C-alpha cells in the first residue's frame, strides 16, 4: 500500500511541478528515499529524460543544473503550482515543503529585477515516507521599453546642416528601430534659405513590442544673405555726355538695400564728362544691406567727341581788276589739333587768283576745312571792281 502511495505522489508531483509553459513533462530529475530505480520503473514509459526536450531560455543555466526540469515565468508573474496534488490510499494526509524563494504555500511573486535561474526543492510527505523533486525556476526578464534620452533643442542657421543624434538603449538588448516624423523624416537635413522658423520632429524608438516617443525642437535662425546686384552691361558714351547709371539690386531677406558707385562716377552714380575724358573706365558698384554687400564692375567707354576745324576770316573781299586775290589772311585751326585739309571751290580753286579786266563782278568762293571727321565750310564773297583804263589809239589811227 505504501508503495502505491509513493508512486501516486511521484506521479502527481512530477506531472504538476515540472510542467513547462506548454504543460509537457520534460525531465528525469532524481528522487530520494532510496526508491529512485523502482519509482522510475513504474512510471509511464513515455516519460522523457532527454535534455534536448527542455524548453530553451536566454537565462544562463549552471552546467550542473542543465538537466533539471524547468518552470519558466516572466518578471512580475506569480510562481505557483496549482495542479500539485497527491492521494494516499490509507487516507494519510499529505504535506508539502518548499525551499526558498518559494513561500510555505509554494508561491513566489516575482518582480522586476528577479530575472535568473533558481534551484528549488519540493518535498511531499505522508509523515512516514517522503519524496522530493529538485527543479529550476527560471525567471526571464519582462520586456522593458527602450530608453530614449531627452533631447535638447537643436539650433542652426539657414544653410547649416541639422544632425539629430538620439541616445537610445535597451535593457533587453533588443534590436531597436528609430523613425523620425514631423518636419523631417531623417536624422540629417540640409537646411535651405527658406527654413527659418521653429520646427518639431518626433523621434520614435521601438523594440518591436514597446514604443517610446519624444519630440525635439529644431530652431532654424534666419541667416542674413547679401543683396544681389543685377549684372551691368558696358556703357559707351562720348565726351561731354552726362552719364546717369541706375543699378538695381534685390535682397533675398527683404532688407533695405543702399547702392553706391565708385569713381569716376559720383556716389549717386552720375558723371558729367568733359574734353579729355576719352578712355575706358571700370567703376565699382556696391549694394549693401548694412551688413553684407555685393559688388559689380561697370565698364564705361568714353569716346572722344571731335571738334570740327575752325575757319577764321572775312566774309567779303573787294579787289580791283588786275589785283591778286589771296586768302592767306584766313586762319584755319582745329581744337583737337587734328591735321586739317583745306580746299577751295567756286570762283577760286586755290587760295590765290590773279584777276584780269574780265573779272569785274561779284564772285563766291567756298573754303572747306576737314579734320577727317568733320568738314566745315566758309562762304566768301569776292567783289572785283572794274578798273578804269585810258583810251588807247589803235594801230594805224594816224596814217
pLDDT for 174 beyond 80: yes
Are 2-140 and 228-303 in the same CATH fold?
yes
> H or E segment at 382?
strand 375-385
Q: Give 66-85 pLDDT, tens digit per residue.
A: 899 999 999 999 999 998 87
Cα separation, 233 vs 230, whole angstroms? 10
3-state SS of 232-247 is CCCEEEECCCEEECCC
Give me the mean pLDDT over the 387-397 stretch: 81
pTM score of the predicted model: 0.43
Main-chain phi, psi angles of 163, to 5 degrees: -125, 115
Quickly tell me which residue has 537643436 as its cell.
154
pLDDT for 184 beyond 50: yes
Residues of the chain above pLDDT 90, percent: 62
pLDDT for 23 beyond 60: no
Contact 283, 261 (CB under 8 A): yes
pLDDT for 185 beyond 90: yes
Give me the mean pLDDT over the 145-160 stretch: 94
> Which set of grid coordinates corresponds to residue 5?
502511495
Q: What are residue 135's DSSP bridge partners?
A: 120
> Which set of grid coordinates corresponds to residue 380?
566768301
Q: What is the pLDDT of residue 254?
A: 87
Quickly tell me which residue has 532688407 as its cell.
255
Cα separation, 207 vs 299, whole angstroms? 68
Q: What is the pLDDT of residue 169?
A: 96
DSSP string, 137-196: EEEEPPP---EE---PPEEEETTSEEE----EE-TT----EEEEEES-SSSEEE--TT--
| Strand-strand pairing, 270-272 and 242-244 | antiparallel
CATH topology of domain 228-303: Immunoglobulin-like (2.60.40)
CATH number attached to the domain at 2-140? 2.60.40
How far lies 131's CA from each of 7, 126, 157, 267, 291, in Å?
10, 9, 77, 111, 93
Q: What is the pLDDT of residue 33?
A: 33
Q: What is the pLDDT of residue 366?
A: 97
- Among 174-178, 271-275, 360-364, 385-389, whose mean pLDDT is lowest? 385-389
CA dihedral 385, 390, 394, 395 (to 10 degrees): -110
Residues of the chain above pLDDT 70, percent: 86
Q: What is the pLDDT of residue 4?
A: 40
Q: What is the mean pLDDT of the chain?
A: 85
pLDDT range class, residue 306, cuts 50, 70, 90: confident
CATH topology of domain 310-385: Immunoglobulin-like (2.60.40)
pLDDT for 124 beyond 60: yes
Task: From 48, 41, 46, select the one nearest 27 (Cα to Cα).
Answer: 48
More confident site: 335 or 31: 335
Give me the mean pLDDT over the 100-110 stretch: 96
pLDDT for 188 beyond 80: yes
- Element counts in the chain: helices (H) and strands (E): 2, 30
Cα separation, 334 vs 350, whole angstroms? 21
Cα separation, 136 vs 51, whole angstroms? 13
Class of domain 147-221: mainly beta
- Among 51-55, 116-120, 148-152, 319-323, whose mean pLDDT is lowest? 51-55
- Among 23-37, 91-105, 216-230, 385-399, whose mean pLDDT is lowest? 23-37
pLDDT range class, residue 12, cuts 50, 70, 90: very low
Q: Give 239-285 pLDDT, tens digit per residue.
A: 999 999 999 999 988 899 999 999 999 999 999 999 889 999 999 99
More confident site: 92 or 106: 106
Domain boundaries, the chain: 2-140, 147-221, 228-303, 310-385
E strands, 23-129, in order: 70-74, 78-79, 95-98, 108-109, 116-125
Contact 110, 139 (CB under 8 A): yes
Amino acid at each position: 500500500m505504501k508503495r502505491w502511495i509513493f508512486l501516486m505522489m511521484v506521479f502527481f508531483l512530477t506531472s504538476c511541478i515540472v510542467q513547462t509553459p506548454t504543460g509537457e513533462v520534460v525531465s528525469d530529475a532524481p528522487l530520494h528515499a532510496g526508491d529512485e530505480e523502482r519509482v522510475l520503473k513504474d512510471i509511464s514509459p513515455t516519460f522523457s529524460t532527454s535534455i534536448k526536450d527542455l524548453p530553451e531560455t536566454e537565462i544562463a543555466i549552471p552546467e550542473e543544473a542543465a538537466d533539471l526540469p524547468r518552470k519558466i515565468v516572466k518578471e512580475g508573474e506569480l510562481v505557483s503550482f496549482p495542479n500539485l496534488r497527491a492521494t494516499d490510499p490509507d487516507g494519510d494526509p499529505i504535506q508539502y515543503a518548499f525551499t526558498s524563494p518559494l513561500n510555505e504555500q509554494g508561491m513566489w511573486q516575482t518582480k522586476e529585477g528577479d530575472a535568473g535561474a533558481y534551484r528549488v526543492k519540493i518535498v511531499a510527505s505522508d509523515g512516514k515516507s517522503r519524496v522530493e523533486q529538485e527543479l529550476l525556476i527560471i525567471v526571464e526578464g519582462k520586456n522593458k521599453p527602450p530608453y530614449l534620452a531627452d533631447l535638447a533643442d537643436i539650433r542652426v542657421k539657414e544653410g547649416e546642416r541639422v544632425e539629430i543624434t538620439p541616445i537610445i538603449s535597451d535593457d533587453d538588448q533588443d534590436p531597436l528601430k528609430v523613425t523620425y516624423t514631423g518636419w523631417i523624416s531623417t536624422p540629417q537635413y540640409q537646411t535651405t534659405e527658406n527654413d527659418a522658423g521653429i520646427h518639431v520632429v518626433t523621434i520614435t524608438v521601438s523594440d518591436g513590442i514597446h514604443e517610446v516617443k519624444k519630440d525635439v525642437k529644431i530652431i532654424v535662425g534666419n541667416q542674413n544673405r547679401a543683396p544681389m546686384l543685377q549684372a551691368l552691361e558696358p556703357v559707351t558714351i562720348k565726351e561731354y555726355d552726362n552719364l546717369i547709371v541706375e543699378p538695381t539690386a534685390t535682397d533675398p531677406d527683404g532688407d533695405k538695400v543702399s547702392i553706391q558707385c565708385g569713381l569716376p562716377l559720383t556716389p549717386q552714380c552720375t558723371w558729367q564728362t568733359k574734353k579729355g575724358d576719352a578712355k575706358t573706365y571700370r567703376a565699382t558698384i556696391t549694394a549693401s544691406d548694412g551688413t553684407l554687400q555685393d559688388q559689380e564692375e561697370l565698364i564705361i567707354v568714353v569716346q572722344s567727341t571731335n571738334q570740327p576745324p575752325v575757319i577764321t576770316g572775312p566774309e567779303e573781299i573787294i579787289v580791283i581788276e588786275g589785283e591778286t586775290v589771296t586768302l592767306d589772311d584766313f586762319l584755319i585751326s582745329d581744337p583737337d589739333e587734328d591735321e586739317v585739309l583745306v580746299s577751295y571751290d567756286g570762283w577760286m580753286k586755290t587760295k590765290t587768283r590773279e584777276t584780269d579786266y574780265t573779272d569785274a563782278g561779284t564772285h563766291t568762293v567756298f573754303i572747306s576745312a576737314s579734320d577727317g571727321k568733320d568738314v566745315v565750310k566758309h562762304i566768301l564773297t569776292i567783289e572785283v571792281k572794274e578798273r578804269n583804263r585810258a583810251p588807247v589809239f589803235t594801230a594805224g589811227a594816224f596814217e
